[in-house]
Structure 1
Amino acid sequence: MMKRLRVTPGPVLALTAVWLATRALMAWLLTHDGSPLLGGGAVPREVWRLYAHWYAVLTHGAFPAHDSMWQYPPGAGAVLLAPGLLPGLTYFQAFVALTLAADALITAALVRAGTRPGRSLLGAALWTCGLPLLLQLPLARYDVLVTAFAVVSLLALTRSARAGGVLVALGALVKVWPALVLLGTPRGPATRRTWGWAVTTGGACLALLAVSFDNSLAFLGEQGGRGVQIESFGGTALNLARHAGWPGRPIYQYGAIELVGPYVHGVAGLSLALTAAAFGLLVLWRLRARHWNPATPYDAALAAVLLFTVTSRVISPQYMIWLVGLAAVCLTSRHTGQRPVAVLVLAATAVSSLAYPVFYGEVIDGTWTGCLLMLTRNGLLGAAAVLSFVRLWRSARTPAGRTSPATEPRPDSDRLPGRALSVS
């Protein structure tokens, strides 16, 4: 019989106090962000101008077709409609309230996971203290709600194949990338059930949205037309090329600052090729992996999202929310190999908030200060991606991660393995 560890309430109460204090500060920054150092009011503009506009379109039963800034899967429509369910609040107020609720849900899930035997509260601490590094930005983007699906689904995977699969599908319908959390589930019947539930739920919800709304797949055309965003790896290289005489310039299109000029299409094509290569590496890892430990699904999700992020044509500052959330899930397990990766992610998050909104004008103008900030942020992300994948590869190729069954809850017929196992 496994002896259950007693958890003192002190750390949980301390995390609760820190969460309340930091979220109050983030909310205050959001309502007092007229200062140029906080974006001059640009950060919340996406909610009360863009999201509210899409809300008005969605309430008439259609997705915003022919809108170059609508690049989201149809599940995003449900998220953007949700603030209308809160009476007595403006759209902006209701959106921020839902974002804070999702943030609280993530924190509670991480605390609950961290207080189980063999687990750690470091994940909850990382999320609680790491998200405020992005200042007020997380409260004015719907990425916190997307991250909630990914975090809760990952934590559910080791306990229920059904719940994990359903939550993954819902997250993927909102912003695609949560589907990557399925990458690290160990081979076996429970994983087949998880993937089956994900496909079934995703297909059913997609069909329901297609019947309920017009233009449900309109986002595909706009997503394909995106160029090279100024904060991506390719955008940083082109920004540096401006100092060597490259004649390109930044413009606002597809909801972001992108660079236009000679060689941009080539850089965009290279990014897509690198993304395909990253996908190939992840598939190769899955095919050759032989050993799983309780943290492998978490570590694989973080490595996958890091690789897809650094090879993308777009690295918006809100992408850091995803990485902080996944790094936090990894740290809930004492078996994770991603602790140094989590440190790099935190450092990149802090630098990202300097690049946007604090010195975003410098980034757009391509000054040496702006270029140095982006080189630092992207360098940290690149190092995190490489280190994350290398550690994932090594942990799954050697049996060193084998653990005692007493360190994790015993799986049942509908649960993924909670201890290390070999797969032939």
Structure 2
Amino acid sequence: MGITDTRRFPVWLLVTWGLSRLALLLLVFKVRAFPGPDVTTDVSVIYHGWYGTLRTGAFPHDDVTWQYPPAAALAVLSPALLPFLDYAQGFYVLAFLADLTVFCLLQSAGMRPGSTLRGAWVWAIGVPLLGPTVYARYDVMVTAVAVAALLAGTRHPRVMGALAGFGALLKAWPALLLVAAVRRRAWVSAAVVAGGLALLFGLTMPGAFSFLTSQRDRGTEVESLGALVFQVARHAGWSGRVVFHYGSVEFAGPYVDWISTAALFLTAGAFGWLLLWRVSVRRMHVHTLADAAFAAVLMSTVTSRVISPQYMVWLVGLAAVCLCFHGSRMALPAGLVLAGCLATVLEFPVFFADVVAGDRLGVSLLLVRNGLLALATVTAARELWLGTVSRPAPTVPPQAARTQETLTPS
């Protein structure tokens, strides 16, 4: 190994990732306690309950908390691959391995000529900022599929399409990875994989698409952008209340339906903007695929009726892919997302009781976290537009610049 290679070897990056992941494992295995409510009950109680139903060959369609596309069953059933561990332990180990896979992909991409390790650093730092929630949800597994898809990118469009299609059947949002795909092969591959898997699940497992009804009936969750209206309104005498509904803590009462409907319109508006961007694009860069996916998922997340803490894992993964490329314009939005991760772990789980109660601390944390996400979204959309649609500023050749200086009177 030459001197240059030795200098590039990311020792501190590996140390940072290793120590932070050891801390996460100690937390989910309950060797150390983390402030706030126990985030691991989703795995040990909810996921484990679904596991028992899914093993019978049917989806838990009678459980309104099952709100996921059919391939999510694979993630819930995955601890069966480690029969020597109990269900929760197997799930945490597999979540750790998904995290490791993302890290290795980003590090490998960052070591290529013309690339940078900034993306691997974003992942190494961003994930532990979210606390043990990362390993207690299956979103890190979905993010691993999405990161692999984007890094396949323009060189392997069929692979990217297949992974995006599979990811969409895991948790819907990876379909947005295709927003900037220009190769028809990527779209065809995604449609074949997603359609084939959907058909397979639909024919073999009853209740494969029951999640659509559960998603339709969800309300405004207390951590969402729209919920800030009611978080503030409670202090002005609003008569609504907080309820546990469809697996999340939501608001119920006057005008909640209005805000939920407004969120749907905002999401439709975001997709309209993405369509306008897509038909207006003048130039594509090697990083545009990742930049557009990051901006699209930011828009979808911020305008949603629900912003669960684990959604931040998606954004950290996509931001990390963007920053693997030197030319990406997403450094500022990525930084805002990292700051949002710190605010997120404070609002959940550390001070979640304050968020539910709507006291000054809880509302302040939500204002900060959601404000950072909204700013990241606007900034990402602006940078995407400037980098691909706006006409670049004319450059003055050096000879012309010298001539202009000569002719300029002193």
**What TM-score comes out, normalization by structure 2 length?**
0.93
Separation in 1 of the partners of 2:4 and 2:323?
Answer: 20
CA deviation profile, 1:25-70 (whole Å, cap 9, x unmatched): 01112233885x62232x0000000000000000001001121101
Amino acid paired to 1:19: W
Q: Does 1:345 align with 2:343?
A: no
Q: How does 1:91-170 map to 2 (within 5 A)?
A: 91-170=87-166
Q: Does 1:26 align with 2:18?
A: no
Separation in 2 of the partners of 1:394 and 1:172?
Answer: 29
Q: Does 1:277 align with 2:269?
A: yes
Amino acid paired to 1:382: A
Q: Quick check: 1:33–1:39 contact (8 Å CA) kept in 2?
A: no
Q: In structure 2, what is the equivalent of residue 419 of structure 1?
A: none
Q: Where do 4+ consecutive residues of structure 1 move more than 6 Å?
A: none
Separation in 2 of the partners of 1:33 and 1:272?
Answer: 42
Separation in 2 of the partners of 1:249 and 1:33?
Answer: 36
Q: Quick check: 2:29–2:89 contact (8 Å CA) kept in 1?
A: no
Q: In structure 2, what is the equivalent of residue 46 of structure 1?
A: 42
Amino acid paired to 1:254: Y
Structure 1 pair 144–9 and aligned structure 2 pair: CA distance change class (3 A): farther
Separation in 1 of the partners of 2:10 and 2:393?
Answer: 29
Q: Quick check: 1:291–1:399 contact (8 Å CA) kept in 2?
A: no
Q: Quick check: 2:28–2:92 contact (8 Å CA) kept in 1?
A: no
Amino acid paired to 1:376: V
SS across alignment from 1:136: helix
Q: Quick check: 1:249–1:261 contact (8 Å CA) kept in 2?
A: yes
Q: Quick check: 1:7–1:115 contact (8 Å CA) kept in 2?
A: no
Amino acid paired to 2:10: V
Q: How does 1:268-347 map to 2 (within 5 A)?
A: 268-347=260-339
SS across alignment from 1:259: strand
CA deviation after TM superposition for structure 1 residue 14, in Å: 2.4
Structure 1 pair 400–332 and aligned structure 2 pair: CA distance change class (3 A): farther
SS across alignment from 2:10: helix
Q: Quick check: 1:123–1:327 contact (8 Å CA) kept in 2?
A: yes
CA deviation after TM superposition for structure 1 residue 19, in Å: 1.4
Structure 1 pair 162–146 and aligned structure 2 pair: CA distance change class (3 A): same
Q: Does 1:267 align with 2:259?
A: yes
Q: Quick check: 2:134–2:310 contact (8 Å CA) kept in 1?
A: yes
Amino acid paired to 1:286: R
Q: In structure 1, what is the equivalent of residue 383 of structure 2?
A: 391
Q: How does 1:188-203 map to 2 (within 5 A)?
A: 191-203=183-195
CA deviation after TM superposition for structure 1 residue 399, in Å: 5.9
Amino acid paired to 1:363: V
Q: Quick check: 1:73–1:217 contact (8 Å CA) kept in 2?
A: yes
Amino acid paired to 2:378: V
Q: How does 1:2-81 map to 2 (within 5 A)?
A: 7-8=5-6, 11-32=9-30, 38-41=35-38, 43-81=39-77
CA deviation after TM superposition for structure 1 residue 211, in Å: 2.2
Separation in 2 of the partners of 1:6 and 1:389?
Answer: 37
Separation in 2 of the partners of 1:317 and 1:11?
Answer: 33
Which range moved further: 199-208 or 119-128?
A: 199-208
Amino acid paired to 1:148: A
Over aligned residues, Cα RMSD in angstroms? 1.6
Structure 2: gaps of 5 or more residues: 395-410
Separation in 2 of the partners of 1:112 and 1:400?
Answer: 32
Structure 1 pair 178–9 and aligned structure 2 pair: CA distance change class (3 A): farther
Q: Quick check: 2:116–2:324 contact (8 Å CA) kept in 1?
A: yes
Q: In structure 1, what is the equivalent of residue 225 of structure 2?
A: 233
Q: In structure 2, what is the equivalent of residue 418 of structure 1?
A: none
Q: Which has the larger radius of gyration?
A: 2
SS across alignment from 1:153: helix
Separation in 1 of the partners of 2:63 and 2:32?
Answer: 28
SS across alignment from 1:294: coil
Q: Quick check: 1:247–1:261 contact (8 Å CA) kept in 2?
A: yes
Separation in 1 of the partners of 2:18 and 2:165?
Answer: 31
SS across alignment from 1:118: coil
Separation in 1 of the partners of 2:42 and 2:199?
Answer: 29
* Count of residue pairs the alignment pairs up: 392
Q: In structure 2, what is the equivalent of residue 88 of structure 1?
A: 84
Q: Quick check: 1:395–1:401 contact (8 Å CA) kept in 2?
A: no
SS across alignment from 2:226: helix
Structure 1: gaps of 5 or more residues: 403-424
Separation in 2 of the partners of 1:7 and 1:121?
Answer: 14
Separation in 2 of the partners of 1:63 and 1:330?
Answer: 36
CA deviation after TM superposition for structure 1 residue 13, in Å: 3.0
CA deviation after TM superposition for structure 1 residue 398, in Å: 3.9
Separation in 2 of the partners of 1:318 and 1:163?
Answer: 26
Separation in 1 of the partners of 2:196 and 2:393?
Answer: 38
CA deviation profile, 1:320-339 (whole Å, cap 9, x unmatched): 00000000000000010000
